[in-house]
Amino acid sequence: MATNKGVIAILTGGGDVPGLNPAIRAVTIRALREGYKVIGIRRGWGGMIDIIRDEKENNGNNYRVLTRKIVNRAGHTGGTFLHTSRTKPSKVKKADIPEHLKDIYTDKINDLTPEILKNLEFLEVDYLIPIGGDDTLSYGVRLYQEGVKIIGIPKTMDNDVPGTDYCIGFSTCVTRTIAMANSLRTVAGSHERFLIIEVFGRYAGFSALLPTMAGAASRCVIPEYPIEIDKLTELLSEDRMQNPSRYAIAIVSEGARIAGGEMVFENNVTDAYGHAKLGGIGDIVSNRLKAISPKYNKGKKINVVNQKLSYIVRGGDPDSIDSIVPMAFGNLAIDLVLKGLYGRLVVLKNGRYDNVPIEIVTSSKKLVNIEQFYDTERYRPNYESFEMKPLFIMTSEL
CATH number of the domain encompassing residue 322: 3.40.50.450
Q: Identify the domain containing residue 183 by its residue range.
A: 171-313+370-381
pLDDT score at 1:
43
Residues 358 and 248 reside in one and the same domain? no
Residues 357 and 219 reside in one and the same domain? no
Residues 337 and 376 reside in one and the same domain? no
Contacts of 215 (CB under 8 A, 6+ apart): 178
Residues 243 and 155 reside in one and the same domain? no
Per the structure, how many domains does the chain have?
2
Q: What is the mean pLDDT of residues 58-81?
A: 95
pLDDT, tens digit, for every residue of 276-315?
Answer: 666 689 999 999 999 999 999 999 999 999 999 988 999 9
Strand order in the sheet with 194-199: 219-221, 248-253, 194-199, 304-308
pLDDT score at 262:
75
In the chain, % of residues over pLDDT 70: 94
In a domain, 394, yes or no: no
Catalytic, 317? Answer no
In the chain, % of residues over pLDDT 90: 87
Instruction: Give the global pTM.
Output: 0.93
pLDDT score at 2:
45
In a domain, 178, yes or no: yes
DSSP 306: E
Which residue is catalytic, options 16, 50, 135, 158?
158
In a domain, 353, yes or no: yes
CATH number of the domain encompassing residue 210: 3.40.50.460
Tell me the pLDDT of the chain averaged across its residues.
93
pLDDT, tens digit, for every residue of 110-162?
Answer: 999 999 999 999 999 999 999 999 999 999 999 999 999 999 999 999 999 99
Computed over its alpha carbons, how large is the radius of gyration of the chain? Answer: 23
Total Cβ atoms within 10 A of residue 376: 13
In a domain, 127, yes or no: yes
